[in-house]
Structure 1
Amino acid sequence: MTTPLTPQEAISTTELRAVVEIACRAPSLHNSQPWRWVFENGVLHLYADHGRVGHHTDITGNEVLLSCGAALNHLRVAAAAAGWQTSVDRFPTPKNHDHLAAIAFRRTAEVSAHDRELREAILRRRTDRLPFAAPEPWSKTERELSALCHHFAVDMDVIDDSGRPALADASRQNEQHRRDDASYRYELLWWTHHGDSSVGIPPAALASSAEASRVDVARDFPAYTSGDRAPQVERDRSKILVLSTFDDSRPNVLSCGEALSRVLLACTAAGLATCPLTHMMELHSGREAVRRLTGRHAQPQVLVRVGRSVDDVSPAANTQRRPISDTLEVL
């Protein structure tokens, strides 16, 4: 039997709000933030909100789960840095598939420097869509990222230079196919030209035509800005990671989102720039092309470009998030 927490050991509403607010810095498809938090009787519940994502983009619903998995791991990182140990019961309500996790908190004795470093990485991390310089040195970083993924039962592969042309070609074909999909294009325009600054992707976070032309694996976003913020990078030299799971079961996809969070934060802490990519997972042909390149039977869930951003480029401001009052309900 679990020992009940005393008032001094229980997390307060104020502390909880601060932790959830940081967790909501997690990346999500088009900054849709498809999650909902409910705090009741000392337990925080995470729910998927599929209504926040366009169904012509996230056809399978996997991208909502990936986003929520990233938010769940961000929450655990933020809690640890604030002095709270978390225990997670995933999918606690079998008849409610959108009830993804129930999180309990217990005061911990100390906060490590690593906990604080990851929390700071949450605050600094952003999706960078510009071309990258190579992330050298790489071998040690690759081993560390692979070990992080293994902890979540997620496979990580790196597409090397020999596989890059085939991946780039498949990415272009994927995007060309969707140019005739009016519903998909409408959703993309809606998320990149949104009147509410707390959702969607602001123009400054998108690449200009000149910048996008040098990134060979990317979603074909509209270009709302001109100019070139990284002219010295003649082509994108990022490493491209593929995170895959045994199957498309909800627990495995959620876990992949948690692994994605840790990969992004580890890269940020190491001074590397990142850009998660899911466009090739939305069509069967794109996903199969990625699977052929990894040589695995596993299901690819997300790509991540990892590299070094140009030193003299001022980083864009972090994309805004919805007010905490919109995402957290305290009962």
Structure 2
Amino acid sequence: MDAIGTARVPDHPTVQAALSLARRAPSVHNTQPWRWVFDGHRLHLHRDTSRQLFSADPQGRQLTISCGAILDHTRTAFEAAGWNTEVIRLPDTAPDHLAIVDFAPATEVSDTVRARAAAIEQRYTDRLPMLPPRGWDRVEPGLRAAAGARGAQLEILGDSARLRLAAASARSAALREYDPQYLNELHWWAGNNSPADGVPISALVSAAEAAQVGVGRAFPTAPPSLRRGELTDASRLLVLGSATDNPLDWLRAGEALSAVLLDCTVAGMATCPLTHITEVPVSRRAIANLLPEPAIPQVVIRVGTAPTAAAQPPTPRRTVTDFLELHRGG
């Protein structure tokens, strides 16, 4: 139901349509660790700990960041459909209840909101080497503002930090190289062709291409891409951080991640979120030491230009009925 009318809350088909779009949100290993409940008036976001990576993410930090990403995607989808949203974060003591979304009809939908909603289906995680981002000086202030509006801090690493960040990434991989639980978890979620979740082979890169990037997670390798050739990565390296390190910070970092990725997509840029470097404390401290301003790193983001048009098919997503509970009685 279009909100620009007499309705006070969205109906069930509108909720389903908005979440069908928002489910394209990024999540760690494409686990999609969220559960939604619509009680007829408000939308409730819960963590789904059955989809948690207990080896890579024992605290559920990346799980909560992932839920923050779909929260912002969901607000964008509703705003494009004519609904203003207000969020109550961590509304009670239940650890899995992350947010409540309230609705009010909008009087108009801006072109900016429409563009961000369209970017949801255009965005993808590009793990291949990139060219420098075009128009960066024009886009950077808006990215900082979008992150700040969502309670996170966005810092841009200088070119001199790339080798040190690559060293931190390699250190994280070395610490996990002989961890059977981590490796089993990684191979369960990546390199398979599940129709609903995980990272498919089509989204992975060859060993040579991964080496050209230098800062990516050590995923299972795939055949070489036909669209890149020999290219050393020249992406910008961004860090989303926070002043403290608790579930509210993680949720807000996920919301900021969503906003930065969508705004980069609108600007025609390719993106790749990286969380593996922040999984290991020693590597996380190394990133913090690279930042121009004090912050606790939550997510690193590569931003650049894809040399050719993307040929990667969409990564799989669960159906809305898999993660949405509708209360018909309202």
TM range (shorter): over 0.9
> Which of 279, 282, 285 is matched with 1:285 structurally?
282
Question: What is the SS of the residue equivalent to 1:214?
Answer: helix
The aligned residue for residue 322 of structure 2 is 326
The aligned residue for residue 73 of structure 2 is 74
What TM-score, normalized by structure 2, do the two folds share? 0.94
Give the superposition deviation at 1:227.
Answer: 4.6
How far apart, CA to CA, are the structure 1 residues paired with 2:88 and 2:168? 38
The aligned residue for residue 216 of structure 2 is 218
Question: What is the SS of the residue equivalent to 2:239?
Answer: strand
Structural mapping, 1:76-115, within 5 Å:
76-93=75-92, 95-115=93-113
Structural mapping, 1:173-184, within 5 Å:
173-184=171-182
How far apart, CA to CA, are the structure 1 residues paired with 2:268 and 2:7? 38
How far apart, CA to CA, are the structure 2 residues paired with 1:127 and 1:36? 23
2:26 is equivalent to residue 30 of structure 1: no
Structural mapping, 1:1-331, within 5 Å:
8-93=7-92, 95-194=93-192, 196-233=194-231, 235-311=232-308, 313-331=309-327
The aligned residue for residue 3 of structure 1 is none
* Percent of residue pairs bearing the same amino acid type: 41
What TM-score, normalized by structure 1, do the two folds share? 0.94
Give the superposition deviation at 1:144.
Answer: 1.5
Question: What is the SS of the residue equivalent to 1:275?
Answer: strand
How far apart, CA to CA, are the structure 1 residues paired with 2:282 and 2:299? 15
Question: Is the CA contact 1:86–1:105 (under 8 Å) kept in the aligned structure 2?
Answer: yes
Question: What is the SS of the residue equivalent to 1:105?
Answer: strand
More divergent stretch after superposition (252-261 vs 288-297): 288-297
Give the superposition deviation at 1:295.
Answer: 4.8
Count the aligned residue pairs.
Answer: 323
Give the superposition deviation at 1:232.
Answer: 4.7
Question: What is the SS of the residue equivalent to 1:229?
Answer: coil
How far apart, CA to CA, are the structure 2 residues paired with 1:266 and 1:227? 26
Question: Is the CA contact 1:208–1:228 (under 8 Å) kept in the aligned structure 2?
Answer: no
More divergent stretch after superposition (8-17 vs 197-206): 8-17
Return 5+ residue gaps in structure 2 as ranges: none
How far apart, CA to CA, are the structure 2 residues paired with 1:263 and 1:10? 28
Cα root mean square deviation, aligned? 1.5
Give the superposition deviation at 1:89.
Answer: 1.2
How far apart, CA to CA, are the structure 1 residues paired with 2:224 and 2:152? 39
How far apart, CA to CA, are the structure 2 residues paired with 1:105 and 1:153? 21
Amino acid at match of 2:128: L
Question: Is the CA contact 2:155–2:293 (under 8 Å) kept in the aligned structure 1?
Answer: no
